[in-house]
Structure 1
Amino acid sequence: MMDFQTVRYAREGDVVTITLDRPDRLNALSETMFVELGQALDLAVADGARAVVLTGEGRYFCSGADLGGGPSDDLGATLDAYYHPVVTRLAALDVPLVTALNGPCAGAGMSLGLAGDLVVMGESGYLLMAFANIGLVPDAGATWLAARSIGRCRTLELALLGERLGAAEAKAAGLVTRVVPDDDVMAEAMALAHRLSAGPTLALGMIRRQVARALECDFSTTLEIERANQSAAGRTADFAEAIDAFAHKRKPQFTGR
């Protein structure tokens, strides 16, 4: 097991939980944290996790980039070196990702929070696209994640005005999946993750990537993607198990193969 300084790694059955662990800095994102988050994701894959939960320690999920060290000479280079590898890794996961938003999500922290396939948010939390407030632009995929979810008009309102969006509003807008009492965030996220981890893992991985592609492709291209994925899914052991379970009127026992 790796010895992490800024994240925690835990496994429960087939679910791996990765926790941003800088509560004294409101889980602000440092270069070290991005490196370790990428390593933790790689470890989860190597461990054979069938679902991943991403959450934060303390009262914030993530307050965004850590500005305590002063500005970089080239913020774009910092994105290339640290941010982009991790957010790309999250998008490319072969297993479902559940984000448990235990508190506010600001800046790039909002990007990480919305990266989940299922996003569970505490009722007192909020999202904040804070970039314009400090003279910057949305990054770490925030523009894509928000615009694809809520459209041009609403995204521009959030990005240009830099105002908080409460949990209930975020759910109504389609940015988060479920809003629960603050004390229930992890329990709800873990319940969803365990449900997903008991599912047909290969098919679920294809579904998450297929939906992402559908947001960018035309209808005919989407049909081709569906066809290719269905051919692959139809050859899995989990599909064979589902057919056998249906024939014998029992619940399928998926193994992720």
Structure 2
Amino acid sequence: MTTEDVLKRADADGVRTLTLDRPSAYNSLTVELKEQLLAALREAADDPAVRAVLLTGAGKAFCAGQDLKEHVGMLRSGDEAPLRTVGDHYNPIVTTITEMPKPVVAAVNGPAAGAGAAFAYAADLRLAASSATFLMAFANVGLGPDSAASWTLQRLVGQGRAMELMMLARTVDSAEALRIGLVSEVVADDELATRAHAVAAKLAAGPTAAYARIKSTVRGAAESTLREALAAEETAQAELGATADHTEAVEAFVDKRTPHFRGK
């Protein structure tokens, strides 16, 4: 049972903004916050009024990863829950982000470490504030990666660099993150919220059915053969070609007007 609201929700322009809200602890992940985030992501995935999701943090940090104070306290008490948190919380959070048929944008407003950084890696698009940093901190506490970081990070920056960042636990600043392809855009700290919402709102107004298939085919192609990827693309195009969004888009092109997408 949760006793405190540590996650903010806001809706505008078809975008559900989820804000990790433990700023005094750099939005580190307690059981409470993990449970609220997972529930909120599942709710957003199922809500037809939500056409895109924006994930960010309150205060000066995006997310510092696991709350180690809570973690060590539970271990000292003999509670085995911390040993189950990957299966109970982190894996479901990441699979909900990656598998929901809606775009997910991460607005990394400050330091992102461990599972917090991994949540951003799992998003479809990442925008960073100038002050943002990324740290794969797992080795510093004698652990391997979780929250799909072993899968996502090497697909973003390559296996060699991913190995370096995980083994050396080296902090990446926003300029390097942009250079190596970890983020798509870096903006001034005070402009991030506005810019990230604009990107998410643009996606929310777009052909969300097509975005869902882009997510599934691109991620599927990362671990399939060429022929399997071609087959998946063929199936997706056949299904999307029969949607109202496709008809609207081509008619708008011919009529020289802006299309109005409904996600159908």
State the TM-score, normalizing by the size of structure 1: 0.95
- Would you say the 8 A contact 2:18–2:53 is kept in 1? yes
- Would you say the 8 A contact 2:20–2:27 is kept in 1? yes
User: What per-residue deviation string (whole Å, max 9, x for no partner) do you get for residues 43-102 of structure 1?
Assistant: 223432111100000000000101112146475522111111111100101110110001
Q: CA deviation at 1:143?
A: 1.2
In 2: Cα distance, 1:7 partner to 1:191 partner: 21
Name the structure 1 match of 2:19. 19
- Would you say the 8 A contact 1:101–1:122 is kept in 2? yes
Identical aligned residues as a percent: 40
Name the structure 2 match of 1:36. 36
Q: CA deviation at 1:111?
A: 0.3
Letter in 1 for 2:212: G
In 2: Cα distance, 1:30 partner to 1:184 partner: 29
In 1: Cα distance, 2:46 partner to 2:13 partner: 14
Please say if 1:172 is aligned against 2:179: yes
In 2: Cα distance, 1:185 partner to 1:113 partner: 15
CA separation of 1:234/1:4 partners in 2, compared to 1, >3 Å: closer, same or farther? farther
Name the structure 1 match of 2:7. 7
Q: CA RMSD in A?
A: 1.6
Aligned residues: 256
User: What per-residue deviation string (whole Å, max 9, x for no partner) do you get for residues 159-201 of structure 1?
Assistant: 1111101111111111111111111111111010111111011
State the TM-score, normalizing by the size of structure 2: 0.93
In 2: Cα distance, 1:159 partner to 1:24 partner: 26
- Would you say the 8 A contact 1:4–1:36 is kept in 2? no
SS of the equivalent of 2:206 reads coil
Name the structure 2 match of 1:189. 196
Deviates more, 1:176-185 or 1:40-49: 40-49
In 2: Cα distance, 1:9 partner to 1:233 partner: 31
In 1: Cα distance, 2:4 partner to 2:55 partner: 15
Q: CA deviation at 1:255?
A: 1.3
Name the structure 2 match of 1:65. 66
Deviates more, 1:170-179 or 1:36-45: 36-45
Name the structure 2 match of 1:47. 47
1:222 to 201, 222, 229: 229
User: What per-residue deviation string (whole Å, max 9, x for no partner) do you get for residues 200-228 of structure 1?
Assistant: 11001110121111111111110011011
Letter in 2 for 1:54: L
Please say if 1:256 is aligned against 2:257: no
Letter in 1 for 2:184: T
1:126 to 119, 127, 133: 133
User: What per-residue deviation string (whole Å, max 9, x for no partner) do you get for residues 91-136 of structure 1?
Assistant: 1011101100010100100001122211000112110000111111
- Structure 1: state its 5+ residue gaps: none
Letter in 2 for 1:240: T
Matches within 5 A, 1:97-246: 97-246=104-253
In 2: Cα distance, 1:93 partner to 1:99 partner: 14
Name the structure 1 match of 2:93. 86
- Would you say the 8 A contact 1:60–1:102 is kept in 2? yes
- Would you say the 8 A contact 2:38–2:89 is kept in 1? no
In 2: Cα distance, 1:8 partner to 1:165 partner: 27
In 2: Cα distance, 1:75 partner to 1:141 partner: 17
SS of the equivalent of 1:95 reads coil
- Structure 2: state its 5+ residue gaps: none
In 2: Cα distance, 1:133 partner to 1:6 partner: 26
- Would you say the 8 A contact 1:53–1:193 is kept in 2? yes
Letter in 2 for 1:220: R
